[in-house]
Amino acid sequence: MSESLKSPFVANLENQWDKGNFVCVGLDPDLTTIPRSARKRFIFPTRRTIFNFNKEIIDATADLACAYKPNSAFYEGYGEQGMQALRKTVAYIKDKYPDVPVILDAKRGDVGNTNNGYVRSAFDDLGADAVTVNPYLGKEAMQPFLDRKDKGIIVLAKNSNEGSGEFQDLQVGEGEMPLYQVVARNVAESWNENGNCAVVVGATYPRELAQVREIVGDMPILIPGIGAQGGDLGAAVKMGKDSRGQGMLLSASRGIIYASDRPDFAIAARVKMARLVGEINNYRSVKV
């Protein structure tokens, strides 16, 4: 990809990859799991507990992260206080660690004029650097996202959940290929005119990950499913790395942010993160 066709989002990712950072940290707070030491007697306990927890995790891991990925559902479920915590979290990362991209994991996707609202919400109001989108309604509907040359558009192709194959594995088209491959091909050949696209492929499907990598070339791939979902890290790196040994956002959330339920939870998150970063880079160095 030429420099003129590379979004700031992708450029920032490449800067992190050059440092050996490939872990995308999922900031998915759950008040039933957040350690007691993060639950101080705040005036607005939900908002401030979530933000305080996120802040400590971020400060402990920012130099090792290639991106942060708050899933909007974990904040929307707590109403206005949850959304305020999300805004504060994104603003904190942008202020303190501006070189680390923020991905809003919202899986947006609707008709074009509705997507205009989603675009304004994710990028202009919240300030995210990228957003995950559902391609089901096609490129025409996704155009408001794709037109944002300054942002990253991460398209669901093959998700990590066990039931993803119900639709994503269906054989379609004249060439009879799985739907997830058709999505990947369309993103690579038609949607990525501004150099701002990436795709999602779960680590739980290494064979499919290799197929998508072949289709999209050196386009970034967000790879969820390592850790709690059981994806094999070595296989994910082997199948997911691009021609430069980079191109991956390996997503981990629960295994990092809940590494400890004690007051040392942030330190424990860093230790777990550093170990994961080391393992990824060891796998990257293996010649195939």
Model pLDDT for residues 46-86, shown as the tens digit of each residue: 999 999 999 999 999 999 999 999 999 999 999 999 999 99
Q: Where are the alpha helices (DSSP H) in the chain?
A: 8-18, 45-61, 73-76, 79-96, 112-119, 139-146, 165-168, 179-186, 206-216, 233-240, 254-257, 265-284
Taking only Cα atoms into account, the Rg of the chain, rounded to an integer number of angstroms, comes to 18
Residue ranges and CATH numbers for the domains of the chain are: 3-284 (3.20.20.70)
Does 223 score more than 90 pLDDT?
yes
Catalytic, out of 88, 94, 107, 238: 107
Does 37 score more than 90 pLDDT?
no
Q: Is 62 exposed, middle or buried (0-12, 13-18, 19+ CB in 10 A)?
A: middle
Does 182 score more than 90 pLDDT?
yes
CA atoms within 13 A on the CB side of 213: 26
User: Contact, 170 vs 180, CB < 8 A?
Assistant: no
The terminus-to-terminus CA distance of the chain in angstroms comes to 24
User: Contact, 145 vs 119, CB < 8 A?
Assistant: yes
User: pLDDT at position 30, please?
Assistant: 94
Distance (Å, whole) CA 244 – CA 246: 5
Instruction: Tell me the average pLDDT of the chain.
Output: 94
Q: Is 90 exposed, middle or buried (0-12, 13-18, 19+ CB in 10 A)?
A: buried
Instruction: State yes or no: is 158 an active-site residue.
Output: no
User: pLDDT at position 45, please?
Assistant: 87
* 27-42 CB burial, b ≥16 within 10 A, e <16: bbbebeebbebbeeee
C-alpha pair distances (Å), 5 with each of 11, 99, 150, 195, 244: 10, 19, 11, 5, 18
Does 159 score more than 80 pLDDT?
yes
Those residues whose C-beta lies under 8 Å from the C-beta of residue 59, and which sit 6 or more positions away, are: 96, 266
Distance (Å, whole) CA 224 – CA 54: 20
- Range 161-165 average pLDDT: 93
Does 4 score more than 70 pLDDT?
no
Distance (Å, whole) CA 77 – CA 68: 19
Distance (Å, whole) CA 113 – CA 279: 44
Q: What is the tens place of the pLDDT at every residue in 100-139?
A: 999 999 999 999 889 999 999 999 999 999 999 999 999 9
Does 2 score more than 80 pLDDT?
no
pTM attached to this predicted model: 0.95
